[in-house]
Amino acid sequence: MKKTFFLALVLLLNQNIMLAQSKSGKKAKSSKIDSSKWRAEHYIIDRDSAYADPRIGLKKLMGGNKRFIEGKSIKPRQDASTIKKLEYGQAPFATIVGCSDSRVPNEVIFDQGLGDLFIIRTAGQVSAAASYGSMEFATLKLKTKLIVVLGHTECGAVAAAVQRPENVPGHIVTLINEIKPAVAKCSHLPGDPINNAVRQNVIDQVNNLRDLEPILHKKYVDGEILIVGAVYDIHTGKVEFLEETLQNLPQPKK
Q: What is the pLDDT of residues 35-86, one digit of tens each?
A: 777 777 777 777 889 999 999 999 999 999 999 999 999 999 999 999 999 9
Question: What's the order of all strands across the beta sheet hosting 226-232?
Answer: 117-121, 94-98, 146-152, 226-232, 239-241
CA angle 59, 62, 66 (to 5 degrees): 135
* HSE (side-chain half, CA atoms, 13 Å) at 3: 0
As a whole number, mean pLDDT of residues 190-209 equals: 97
Whether the predicted pLDDT of 3 surpasses 80: no
Going from N- to C-terminal start, the domains of the chain cover 1-33, 40-245
One-letter amino acid at 163 equals: Q
One-letter amino acid at 188 equals: H
As a whole number, mean pLDDT of residues 206-214 equals: 98
Identify the CATH assignment for 40-245 out of 3.40.50.1820, 3.40.1050.10, 1.10.3470.10, 3.30.420.480.
3.40.1050.10
Q: At what angle do helices 156-163 and 193-210 cross, to 10 degrees?
A: 110
Phi, psi of 16 (to 5 degrees): -65, -40
> pTM surpassing 0.95?
no
Q: What is the pLDDT of residues 225-247, one digit of tens each?
A: 999 999 999 999 999 999 999 99
Nearest residue to 198 via CA among 147, 236, 246, 239: 239
